[in-house]
Amino acid sequence: MVDDLMSDMRRRYEDLTQSQKRIAEAIVEDPEFVAFATVDKLAGRLGVSPSTVVRFAYRLGLNGYQDLQERVRVQVRSQIRGAAGKGEPLPALAHLEGSVHAQSLARDIENLDRTVAELSVEVIDSAVEAIHDARRVYVVGGMASDGLATFAALTLGRLHGDAVMIRNDGHAGPALYEASREDTFLALSFPPYASHTVAVVDQARKRRSKIIAITDSLISPIAQRAEIVLPVHVAGVATQNSLVAPLAVINVLLNGVSARSPHARSRARAIMDLMDGWDSFVLKGDMKGEQ
């Protein structure tokens, strides 16, 4: 039920009015308020009319505001159950004595827990299949997520055989020119969202390539443009996002591709052996696909 609501909002987001988009964003950003606020209070906070809120519910195929609110309440209750006990200090962090280091690690663990709770086996399987079956996999991630994209592209090159990292430089044009409907794009984007990533995804859509998004919201700029969305939690303690959960999800996809392809592991191992022959590593010998 909750998944249907979020999927409907993502699917219809581009066709919503600006006022309706504010309502959708409020449901994603502050579901606790929406779950228990009257229609007048929600309308007042967002600067829209109560009738606009009701029309938004009807636009999603629901039976008015009460039906919308009940679906949001289901989401809130599930989050509360998943967060039970999270207010207590984690035993593993006790020796850090409540320092900012403990706060940082606790937030990473919380983000990972919340991300895992919201992952769907079906969505993960569809993403793995799209990567495995692609002629070529393009990976893009701007600004802070560039490092994650580099890791994903490097490892996919060993496992899949044809992976291209798209950076914001002169090489992006020629790479995109070759893209087709037989290819898959893996895009990573988190607030404040790199405009380059959105532009690359728009080009991928024009070429009818399949798009997988790893992003923080089902209605983020690239989520609106993707067929497959893997939502992750990235809220940080300081000014930067926490990228622990996105990295974990990338690992899930890489391990899924490796498990799906009978030749992926042997290919990766052969490549590592080749690099070993070039004195690329401090530790010599059988690397077994490790770095």
CATH of the domain at 183: 3.40.50.10490
Asked whether residue 77 falls in the same domain as residue 134, the answer is no
Q: Structurally, how many domains does the chain consist of? A: 2
- Note whether residue 96 is domain-resident: no
Q: Is the pTM here over 0.75, yes or no?
A: no
- Note whether residue 280 is domain-resident: no
Beta bridge mates, 215: 189, 231
- Contact at 8 Å (CB) between 118 and 144? no
User: Hey, how many other C-beta atoms are within 10 angstroms of the C-beta on 258?
Assistant: 20
Asked whether residue 131 falls in the same domain as residue 252, the answer is yes
- Note whether residue 86 is domain-resident: no
Q: Which of 94-98, 134-138, 237-241 has the highest mean pLDDT?
A: 134-138
More confident: 86 or 254: 254
* Mean pLDDT, residues 172-180 taken together: 81
Range of the domain at 210: 121-260
Per-residue pLDDT, 79: 56
- Note whether residue 248 is domain-resident: yes
- Note whether residue 61 is domain-resident: yes
Asked whether residue 175 falls in the same domain as residue 250, the answer is yes
pLDDT 10s digits, 59-107: 888 888 888 888 888 776 665 544 444 555 556 676 776 678 888 888 8
Rounded-to-10 torsion of CA 197, 171, 257, 8: 20
Beta bridge mates, 214: 188, 230
- Note whether residue 103 is domain-resident: no
CATH number of the domain within which 39 lies: 1.10.10.10
Asked whether residue 170 falls in the same domain as residue 242, the answer is yes
* Mean pLDDT, residues 194-218 taken together: 92
E strand segments, the chain: 137-141, 163-166, 184-189, 210-215, 228-231
Per-residue pLDDT, 218: 84
Give the rounded percent of residues in the chain with a pLDDT score beyond 70. 85
- Note whether residue 287 is domain-resident: no
**In this structure, what DSSP letter does residue 164 have?**
E
